[in-house]
Amino acid sequence: MKLAWRNPAKKNGAVRTILGLGVTFVVVLLFFLPLDFFENAQGKLYDLSLRIRGSAPVPKGVTIVAIDDRSVAQIGRWPWPRTKVAELINRLSKAGAKIIAFDIVFFPSEEERAAGNDRLLGEATREAGNVLYPFYFTLGKPREEGKKAEIPPQLTNASLLLFDDPKKFFEFPPLSGIEVFAPIPEICEGAKALGHINVLPDPDGKVRWDPLMIEYAGQNYPSFSLQIAAAAMRLTRGDITVRVGQSVQMGKIKIPTNPQGMMLLNYYGGTQTFPYSSCADVLSGKVPAGTFKGKIVLVGVTAAGVSAGAHDFMATPFSNRFPGVEKNAHEVASILQGRFISRPSWAPFMEFGLVLLIGLLLTFFMPGLRPAWQLVVSLAMLLALGGTMVWAIVEGMRLNIFFPGLVVVLQYVLATARPTVAPGRESVPETGTTRVSAPARAPAPEAEQTVRLEAGGPVQKIGRYEILCELGHGAMGVVFKGRDPIIDRLLAIKTIRFDRLYEDQEIESLKGRFYKEAQAAGKFTHPNIVTIFDVGEVEGLSYMAMEYVEGENLSKYTSADHLLPLEEVLTIITEVAE
């Protein structure tokens, strides 16, 4: 039989190159597909980079008053009478709080209105002069023209005013609201500002972004956190400029955003990163004097269970149970400190270039390395990519290394996959001959250097061992029954011809493994382990001479109707294990 390839190594090399280029091309295609699976994977890597970076020191000017489990246990189930909320405002105002921000929406209540509690809360809000309240939208597609929604009177002066180019909203539209839920006017008329508290989790449920503005009825409304930061900086609506699709400018602070006007949250750490005070302690006067002086105080519900009467928890990179009020604290502190994570405009081009560069380098150079070095190179590349990702986070940038990392992993898997036996290397049963011969480049000096078994033919040899018959063969080699003529002992001789199965750069490594196997087995003397008598090589043919044991072919016991009984299988396993 003639071989289609005279040099099988070249064929395997060409196939691997084609497969390597194909893998790179597939990853390039995936790079441009907006699939949730890849978005989730990149989000997980972002979470990992934040956790590796660790917690960051928080500013001392932001603190939290929590309506926690202890507060609910002492005062009662939430919501409390609004006179309690008014009392809390009065205490915080007298304690010198710079800003009092309630992460709570106060909806109409006939009972509270009839009792005059709404009026009392409104008066406390007006007297303090530094209280902020939130509202929220039901998000959805913008309303059709002619069906414009009505703006509640309490939100008339809450929208943003300045935009660098409003026409850009057609290209970079923000999130849209189709319905709004605002606190009652009697309470919030004296508020310093109002802002929305909507969050938009990623497909995996994690909150990594915050919409700094939402469009409703043709107006764009800022987030609650943005309003808190603006109030703390003594800025008005006229001091905030939206650069559509790029950033929000607050005085000297520039907040980078994505095209939808969303800010990537740079969490300082996990829960309890910011200082907490129990609302029960504040109302009872147990909080030390000076705790709130000159500080931004965020008030929110952190109690869990039915007794809380509310649920305000979310999943973040640091915790799957993160209080909403603390999320706002992280965001406010980030804005005030100018501590942002941006997505540079050049990042996608660099990531795409890395996919191409790494894919091409590994396609052409990985196959030429030993397996151990292939692993070392792949791990080194993955560590370098991971280190770059964490370094970028520390420097305030987000780089997505998922696709460059994916091409490294796929190229390594491809490089370490063993080549199959090329056509023409199997034994040819129809000739009645099994042939294992030395290379044709030079005649064998002795008859014992060539093994040829034919019906009625002369006895052949491998080294000094006489070959009696073939016991079996597979893709890697042939096992013969042989005899040592010197001591007249029957042997099983395992032979492998590496130069016909593998590329040149793999042969030495595989031979080393073959001989190590023989050395390891040769050190044992055990009735359940065959004894190794000799190992060597004759004209490129590696062989291992071992103890010959009479037995049956196990293939007869692999079919479903000829399986060994369970008791016998367990007995065999026990004997082998001993």
Spatial distance between the Cα atoms of 7 and 435, rounded to a whole number of angstroms? 19
Q: What pLDDT sits at residue 143?
A: 63
Per-residue model confidence (pLDDT) at position 141: 81
- Chain position carrying tokens 């490294």: 408
Q: How many helices (H) and strands (E) does the chain have?
A: 15, 25
pLDDT for 265: 95
The pLDDT value given to residue 463: 83
Taking only the tens place, the pLDDT of each residue in 43-84 is 999 999 999 999 999 999 999 999 999 999 999 988 899 999
Taking the CA atoms of 131, 134, 135 and 141 in sequence, report the sign of the dihedral they define.
positive
Lowest mean pLDDT among 180-189, 373-382, 527-536: 527-536
Model pLDDT, residue 2? 39
Q: Is the pLDDT of residue 259 over 70?
A: yes
In the predicted structure, residue 448 carries a pLDDT above the cut 90: no
The pLDDT, as a whole number, for residue 440 is: 39
| Residue-wise pLDDT tens digits, 261-290 | 999 999 999 999 999 999 999 999 999 989
- For residue 12, the model assigns a pLDDT of 63
- Where residue 36 falls among pLDDT bands split at 50, 70, 90? confident
467 and 493 in contact (C-beta within 8 Å)?
A: yes
Q: Evaluate if residue 501 carries a pLDDT over 80.
A: no
Instruction: Give me the pLDDT at residue 471, please.
Output: 84
Neighbouring CB atoms inside 10 A of 547's CB total 13
Q: Given a cut of 80, is residue 508 above it in pLDDT?
A: no
C-beta of residue 492 within 8 angstroms of C-beta of residue 479: yes
Q: What is the mean pLDDT of residues 331-360?
A: 94
Q: Quick one: which of 244, 257, 163, 179 has its CA closest to 217?
A: 179
Q: Which pLDDT score is estimated for 307?
A: 52
Q: What is the dihedral of CA 294, 298, 303, 307, to 10 degrees?
A: 110
Q: 495-523 in b/e burial notation, b at 16+ Cβ within 10 A?
A: bbbbebbbbeebbeebeeebeeebeeebe
pLDDT, position 209? 95
Greater pLDDT, 231 or 567:
231
Q: What is the pLDDT of residue 146?
A: 53
539 vs 275, residue with greater confidence: 275
Closest CA to 246 of 333, 161, 142, 169: 169
Rg of the Cα trace of the chain?
38
Question: Which pTM value belongs to this model?
Answer: 0.69
Of residues 15 and 295, the one with the higher pLDDT is 295
**Position 445 pLDDT exceeds 60:** no
At residue 305, the pLDDT reads: 64
* Mean per-residue pLDDT, 441-461: 47
More confident residue, 554 or 377: 377
Q: What is the pLDDT of residue 449?
A: 45
- Whose CA is closest to 133, among 179, 84, 189? 189
174-228 pLDDT, tens digit per residue, is: 999 999 999 999 999 899 999 999 999 998 999 999 999 999 998 999 999 999 9
The pLDDT of residue 144: 63
Per-residue tokens: 455? 């019906």
CA gap 261, 244 in Å, rounded: 7
Q: Report which listed range, 332-341, 451-460, 551-560, is most confident.
A: 332-341
- For residue 25, give the amino acid letter: F
- What confidence score (pLDDT) does residue 180 get? 93
pLDDT digits 0-9 by tens, 283-315: 999 999 899 999 999 999 998 864 555 678 999
Asked if residue 189 lies in contact with residue 154, where contact means CB atoms within 8 angstroms, the answer is yes
Percent of the chain topping pLDDT 70: 86
